[in-house]
Chain A
Amino acid sequence: MSNSNADALRPQQPIDWNNPRLRVAGLRKHYDQKVVLGGVDLEIYPGQIVALIGSSGSGKSTMLRCINLIEEISDGQIWLEGKDISLASIDQDAVRREIGMVFQSYNLFAHLSILDNITLALRHVQGKSKAEAEQIALGWLDRIGLADKAGSYPDKLSGGQQQRTAIIRAVALNPKVLLLDEVTSALDPELVGEVLELIRDLKATGTTIIMATHELSFARDVADWVVFLDKGVVAEEGEAAEFFANPKQERTREFLTRLQR
């Protein structure tokens, strides 16, 4: 695909470990008395995939929503390419333009065709012409094998096809970080594979991704770094291969055996 944006993301040089793409420090989120995130640190470098794992209610989704500024954080700071995006004075719309997010339930726009779902933000957020936006969108649809569905409406597609559309809808905007919130959890088991395949493909193009997921074997395969959240704090983290091979904490081992059984 020569005309897609993603090729521009391909890392040209080795990772600069002094300049994380995104850095989170001491992130807290409380709802009334309930602590959902109790001070979380995270760093991700260009082209990396970080997998957030943990049981339901461990704060994975909340973490992603805080990074995308959908949730107001209770404490801590977030930097995107060194710029503090957690400042009260920040233009939140401008931040969201640089961070993509995909949800568990796809959330495609029901009144728009597949093509229009993808071109909407390209045209109205990035100000591209209709022709230019459609060229980019069709390039992506072609890449995921859905070019023939461009004119269809979301309810005519399978869950896997909808989710892949939702992912390229976010990726087509060329975000600095892509947040994937349990994107395979709502899918029938036989549809999970095609979505994971797309994520693998995105990794190859150098997209920087933070993904909350229950797919442990997939996380082991594609993630560079794994963060295990337990009750709103990082219980353990490490390089994917090492993390799964030799979990250090007792609760990590417990979680992994519970999910892999």
Chain B
Amino acid sequence: MNSQVAFEPSAAEVERARIRTAKRRRSILVSLLSTVIFAVVVGFSLVSTPGWDRVAHSFFDLETGLKAWPRVIDGLLLNLRVLVFATIGVLFFGMLLAIMRTLRNPVFFPLRVFARGYVDFFRGLPLIIVLYLVGFGIPGLRLEWLGRVPAEVLGTVALILTYSAYVAEVFRAGIESIHPSQRLAARSLGLSYSQTMRLVVLPQAVRRVAPPLMNDFVSLQKDVGLISILGAVDAVRGAQIEVAKFANFTPYVVAGLLFVLLAVPSIRFADHIASKYAKREQAGSAL
């Protein structure tokens, strides 16, 4: 593949190459044309709606957007901080739960049951309800030693609680996907169960689940916006304040676009990892 072989192609190969090039040109042309037609149809049908002028003014007003910008950006920095801590927490607790579920020693029976119950519970419970329960329930306990916990911290805790359950399942799937012969080889070398887990199974499992894991973190990236419902002044809450000030919805659109911009690199990175693994697994196939 990486070395050029000098040879005179046969007439059949020249003909094949000509047809392939023609096909490629044709498909580029078709996709270009179809894109233009699609854009025109969508744009026209939007603009031709009776309320378009009003919507355009209240959602896409450049002046309001610029005025709201500083507060929204400020809020986004809070979202980023929450994201960093939530990611670390989710990775840690997700892995912990996944390991708990694989423990076989009878001493750990309660841990195994707990992990299983936890994952079932938090995968079923809507995130917004977890946010309410943690955000308003924990302060409601009036724990003296806890003091007053900021809303963004409570929001981070809620995110970690929910996302750990999802990530634990991803890790568990990864652990179970490692072929038993790898454990067998490790055990026959005299490694203990936990050494086998730590040195042989987990490193391979983590690599294998990197793509689906990235997906969960892209999803977490936008869900950090939900901490606004607890009163934390993040990008969404900041936008809300500006919306109230200007009686215009543009700040929401600004916040939304910022979240998208934030997500795009992660999404591309996730795709990149996924395709890298896919390539490795189906090397040499033309389909």
Contacts and interface: CB of A to CB of B under 8 A. Distances in A.
Contact of B181 (A96, A103, A173): A103
Contacts of B191: 93, 120-121, 124-125
Contact of B189 (A94, A105, A121): A121
B190 A173 contact: yes
Given A109-B182, A110-B182, A124-B199, A100 B188 contact: yes
Contact of A173 (B187, B189, B200, B204): B189
Interface in A56-97: 68, 70, 93-94, 96-97
Interface string B44-87: 00000000000000000000000000000000000000000000
A91 B234 CA distance: 57
A243 B182 CA distance: 36
A259 B182 CA distance: 31
Interface residues of B, number: 17
B185 A96 contact: no
B73 to A, nearest CB: 41
Interface in B161-219: 181-182, 184-192, 195, 199-200, 203-204, 207
A111 interface: yes
Nearest to B202: A111
Given A93-B190, A93-B192, A125-B190, A111 B185 contact: no
A28 interface: no
Interface string B129-164: 000000000000000000000000000000000000
A107 B182 contact: yes
Nearest to A124: B195
A124 B190 CA distance: 9
Interface string A196-218: 00000000000000000000000
A210 B189 CA distance: 16
Of B184, B189, B195, chain A has the most CB atoms within 10 Å of the CB of B189
B199 A120 contact: yes
Instruction: Classify the interface of chain B: helix, strand, loop or mixed.
Output: helix
Of A94, A120, A169, chain B has the most CB atoms within 10 Å of the CB of A120
Interface in A150-183: 166, 169-170, 173
A108 B182 CA distance: 7
A125 B189 contact: yes
B181 A105 contact: yes
Interface string A114-155: 000000110011000000000000000000000000000000
Contacts of B207: 111
A155 B185 CA distance: 16
B187 A96 contact: yes
Nearest to B200: A109
B95 to A, nearest CB: 17
B171 to A, nearest CB: 16
Contacts of A103: 181, 184-185, 188
Given A103-B184, A124-B195, A169 B203 contact: no
Given A109-B200, A111-B204, A96 B190 contact: yes
Given A107-B184, A110-B182, A121 B204 contact: no
A182 B282 CA distance: 29
A97 B190 contact: yes
A96 B189 contact: yes
A68 B189 contact: no
A96 B185 CA distance: 11
A175 to B, nearest CB: 9
B33 to A, nearest CB: 44
A101 interface: yes
6 A-B pairs closest in CB distance: A97-B190, A107-B185, A121-B189, A101-B188, A125-B190, A107-B181
25 contacts: A70-B184, A70-B187, A93-B187, A93-B192, A94-B190, A96-B187, A96-B188, A96-B190, A97-B190, A101-B188, A103-B184, A103-B185, A103-B188, A105-B181, A109-B182, A109-B186, A109-B204, A111-B200, A111-B203, A111-B204, A120-B200, A121-B189, A121-B190, A166-B185, A173-B189
Interface of B: 181-182, 184-192, 195, 199-200, 203-204, 207
